[in-house]
Structure formats: structure tokens, C-alpha cells
A and B are shown apart, each in its own frame.
Chain A
Amino acid sequence: MGPFLDALFLQAGYNVSLVTIGAALLGFAAGASGTFLFLRKRALVSDGVAHATLPGVALAFMLMVAFGGDGRNLAGLMIGSAVTAGLGLLIMEWIPRRTRLSEDAAIGSVLGVFFGLGIVLLTVVQTMSSGRQAGLESFLLGSTAGMLFNDAITIVIGGSLVVFATWLMRRPMTLVAFDSDYAAAMGYDVRRIDLLMMGLVMAVTVIGLKLVGLILIVAMLIIPPVTARFWTERAQRVVWIAGGVGAVSGYLGAVISASAPALPTGPIIVLVAAAVFVVSLFLAPGRGVLAALLRHRRFQARVHRRQGLLALAAQHPIREAYTLRLLSREGLVRADGVPTDAGRAQAAKVARDERRWDVAREINQDAGLAGLYDGLTPIEKVFTADEIAEFDRRLGPPTAIGGA
């Protein structure tokens, strides 16, 4: 527990603190910027963008060596990765717009081809004399431990810019994500906004490449928004919750990874995010599985309760065990199925409401009552006391049920 707590409270040394804070910031930027792509149903564009960075990294390395520089210069590698990622992004946007191929085919082909090209170039780099120890493979899976102060600064500045741009463009991007036709009718340039969305994701990918690697950065762009969506129905909130989920995953992931050997940072961050996702999937109020299950149970109970009471009113025996249990728990029937006084009263009320509804539908034939009459909504919620009094006047006096 010691090393874990030390890392958690940034007491485990300069390097660990640097990595922890860097991962949290990257997580926030990735979660927030990935949200719009997710809402636009294009989450996997990030996969294509991430794979398209590889040839750029290798090309930048070769160019820098050719001009006599140090091939490992991070800024240079980042610029290179941005160039090919941008190219891949434009192709991904061009293919579905100008051919009949669908978006996922475009993403997949850019992903496969650019990555293949990147591997080809990497094998060339490996044969270069200065390439053998270049460690470019670390871009595949990330190498967090090797993070330097300059890398952290890059993440801070780049991540802040991405978050700021996301905040600035949140309204048009939300509009395009939910209803691009409407956005176009409002005079927005949908194509440009789409490109901007993807551009932000590209920026995060390039920034995070060194830290978590090109395959796992995709997870940081996709998992937090999907997770956040469980907790709210409002797009603006999804952005910040996703940022929060990303930040927490990054922070916790880095801490866990620092607290024991052989726990690579990138995968641990992803697994923490996945854990938050699973918890949200089951426990989130509203959209979570558990909440949906409870809702279903409650609905089922109401249907059974009403059917049971109607059966009592009609003096039919109740044979359904669940209905019987439900009614006897409320003290409406005895264990042998004979209604109690309270049960008779409730049954009379339900039966009377049924008849009231009949009258109500007769009176208001074209008021669209069909949707309101679901048999479960109490009639008092739909009509005023005066209206119900009018139904009762037409029905005549109430009659007792069960021969009492």
C-alpha cells in the first residue's frame, strides 16, 4: 500500500509525479475532445487517425537524420505524425464523400494502409545505423516511464489548447453531432466543423502518442465519452464528465503503474477507464442496466397489481402466484386469495376508474386520449376533479364489490 499511497499523493518522486499529472491532463483532453466524435457516431475515426501517425513518425525520424539532426527530437516526431495523421484524416473524409464506400470502409482502409506503410518505413529506420536504438517502436505502445519535463510541458500546453478549442466550439459541434442537416440549414459549414472535430482528436493523438502509444490512445478517446453518456442526457455535460473520467483514469492508472514493477502505464490507464465504464454501465442512474432492471420490475408490479385488482372487482379467482404475493404484501388479499376490506375498496376504485375512462373516451373522442390511457396512469393525473365528477354523474352511484 505504501508505494501506491505515495504515488497517489505525488510523494513518489519527481518523475512519477510528472507522469501522473501528465497522464491526468492527457486523459482530460482526450475525454473532452473525443466526446463530439462519439456523439457524431464516428468514434472509430480516432482509430484511423492514431494508426495514420506511424508513417509520419518514421518519416520525420529519417528526415531529421538526413539533415544531420537527432532523429529522436520529440517536436519533430510530433510534427511528422501530425502531417500523416492529417493526410489520413482528409482521405477518411474524402472517400465517403466522393465514392460510394461507407465511412467505416474509409476508416479501415486508411488505418490498414497507413499502418502498413508505417511498418515498412520502420523496417527501413531499423536498418539505418542511427535507427537501431531509436526506440521508435515505443510509439506503438507508449513509454511513459521515459517522460521528460519537456514532454510534460508539451502535454500541458497542447492539452490546454485542445480543451480550450473544444470549449470554444462546443455549440456548433454539438449541433452538428446531433443533427447535421439542421446545422447546415442554420448556415454552419458542417464539413469544416467535422474536420475541426477530427482535427482536435488528431491533436490529442499526436500529444499522447509518446505517453500511451498509438493503439491505446484510441481507448482514451473512446471509453470516457461512452462512460460519460451513461450519467447525463445533456451534451455539454457529457464533455466535462468525459474529461473527468479521462483525467481520473489517467491519474489512477499512472499511480497504480508506478506502485509496482511490470505494470506498463498505457494499458493500466486503459483498464482503469474500462473499469469505470463497467461500473457506469451497470450502476448509472437512468441509463444504467440496474436502473433499467428496477424500472422494469416496478412497471411489471404495477401491471400485475392492476390486473389483480380488476380480477377481484370481477370476482374472478387470482391464480397467478406473483400477483397474489404482490396483493397480499399490501394487505389487499388474504393468503388464500380472498380479498380483505382494503382490497375490496381498491378493487372498487380501479373498476370504477376503468368505467370512468370509458366515459372519458366517449366524451373526448378526438382529444387523443389513446396515448394517455395506458391503464396504469391514475385517472386523477389526467383529468381535473370537476371532470371526474362529471364522469361519475353519468355513471351513477358506486356499487359495492364482493357482496359485502
Chain B
Amino acid sequence: MGADFVQFSLTPILIGTLAAIACALPGNFLILRKQALIGDAISHVVLPGIVVAFLLTGVVAAIPMMLGAAGAAIVAVILIEAIKRLGKVEPGAAMGVVFTTMFAAGVLALEQADLGNIHLDIEHALMGNLESLIWFRAEGWQSLLDPQALAGLPPELGRIAIVCALVVILTLVFWRWLKIATFDEDFARALGIPASAVGFGLVIAAAIAAVAAFDAVGSIIVIAMFICPPAAARLMTNRLAHQVWWSVGFATLSAVLGYVFAGYGPLWFGGQNAVSAAGMIAAVSGVILAFACLFGPHRSRVGVGREEAA
């Protein structure tokens, strides 16, 4: 755990962990509301949003791109809702129509824009570049106290930290509303809670988390983090608060283990090159979910024996 670690691994691990937590928190509620695939849809429509932002501003800068991505996510949510209502199409299919079409439009716009050597390609969008978010100016743990070195931290770290904090605060502030509106929408309305607004707000929060995480770690990890840690957590407990804590724990574990395996794993097997950290984080979260599915204390449906459930 020397200077190398601080310089090359500390910031990617922190960024990965914060991204994973920011996604897993809203994921808990999305899973319970059977909207788990919203995360999938959002992460696909982020691409056209980023391309449009680039075409409008002509620069590769974080803020306009995040705004573009968030705008695209909101457009997608509205389109999905419109198709559902206007055409009486079931939610999954409406979602499928919207995100595949927007993704196709994004790919087309990317080809048309001929971005050439500008670092905005699809592979990057899918895989992220967690490995490259290193802290050049760090010389060891003491750099954490050195203002000059701290100024050289990757800007992605600040952005994801702010978004993660925002998601945490929103979850805490709206905890009771979220909880009631998630489990019993009619009861929530009877209590005077604006249940539809809570639902829409949740999706927007998820979109913000997805966009911020996408900026740093790419879209696969976003999809996996929205679903795998909360799903595994759901199989560990029957209480919502405990589930959220479990999901944060699983998200952190996935991010840390995934990064370590990706960076150092190949060396243990005699390889020389690291593998994709984002992919490995998703894979680790899958392994955790697999264990939860097989051994989680609350894995089967309530009131149904495991064999009967088959």
C-alpha cells in the first residue's frame, strides 16, 4: 500500500465505489417497483445525449455532456410514458422501442459528426476508462494533505462524489415517501403523498446517477450496479433499511474487488496486461448475486417452499 497504490489505484477505486453506491441506492427502489430495467434504458440513451451536446457546443467538456445526457434521459422517460399511454403498449416493450431507437440515432449521429480523433467513441462509452483516472501528482499517502497535489485529483472524482452525496441526501430526505409509495401507491395517495411525482423523481435521480457514473466508468457498470447489488441485498433481508445497507455494502465490495481483480488478477495468472475494470466490477457483482440466489436467507418467495416455487 505504498505510493504507487495512491497514485494509480486509490482514485479509480474511490470513483468506482462512489459510482456503484450512487447507482445502487435508487436501484433498491427501482427493483421493488419492478422498474429495474429503467437503468438499462437510461444508460443506452445517454449516448445520443452526449453526441448532441457535443454537436451543439463543439467541445468535449464534462458539464455540457452531462447536461446533454440528462436531457436525453428525461426525453426518453417522457417518450416511454407517451408511448405507453397513447398506444396502450406495455411498459417493457415501450422502453425497448425508445431506447433502441435513441441508441441507433446516437450511433448514426456519431458517425455523421465524424469526430475523428476526438476521444468520444462507442467503446469508451460502453467500457468507460476507470483505469485512466489516476492521480498523477500523488507521491504517497501524505499527498492527501497536500493542497497542491489534491488540486490534481481527476475531476471525475469530484463530480461523482457530489452526485453520490446528492443521491444519499435525496434518499434520506424522501425516505418515508419513497418507502410508502414503493410498497403501496394507493395508500401513499391516501396519505397525501404525491406518489406519481415520487416515482418520476426516482427515475430522474436514477438518471442523474447513471449519467455521472457513465462519465467515469461507462455504461455496463451502470446497468450492473443498478440491479445486482440491490437484487442480492433483497435476498438477504426482509427490511427495506437493511436491504439498502446490504446493497451499499455489495456495491462497495464489487467496486473494490472488481478493480483489484482487473488490475492485479492477470498478474497472478502470469498475464501482463490488466483487463477492463468496469467489466470486472460488473462480473464480481454478478458473482455476489449468484451466491445470494443460492444461499441468501430470504431468497424464496414468502409463503412458498423452495421446491414448490418451481
Contacts and interface: CB of A to CB of B under 8 A. Distances in A.
Contact of A116 (B88, B92, B114, B221): B221
Nearest to A41: B90
How many chain A residues sit at the interface, stated as a range, is 35 or more
A113 B96 CA distance: 19
A104 B298 contact: no
The A contact surface, by secondary structure, is: helix
B293 interface: yes
Contact of A271 (B86, B104, B262, B278): B104
Contacts of A402: none
Interface string A97-111: 111111011011101
A392 interface: no
A114 B276 CA distance: 13
A44 B92 contact: yes
Interface string B77-92: 0000001001111101
Contact of A122 (B227, B276, B296): B276
A270 B114 CA distance: 20
A223 interface: yes
A262 to B, nearest CB: 5
A124 interface: yes
Contacts of A41: 90, 92-93
A219 to B, nearest CB: 3
B301 A100 contact: yes
A230 interface: yes
Interface in B29-74: 31, 34-37, 39-40, 44
B196 interface: no
A119 B103 contact: no
Interface in B209-258: 220-221, 223-228, 231, 234-235
Nearest to B261: A120
Interface of B: 31, 34-37, 39-40, 44, 83, 86-90, 92-97, 100-101, 103-105, 107-108, 111-112, 114, 122-123, 126-127, 220-221, 223-228, 231, 234-235, 262, 266, 271-276, 278-283, 285-286, 289, 293, 296, 298-302, 306, 309-310
Interface of A: 38, 41-44, 46-47, 95, 97-102, 104-105, 107-109, 111-124, 127, 137, 140-141, 215-216, 218-219, 222-223, 225-226, 229-230, 262-264, 266-268, 270-271, 274, 277, 281, 287, 289
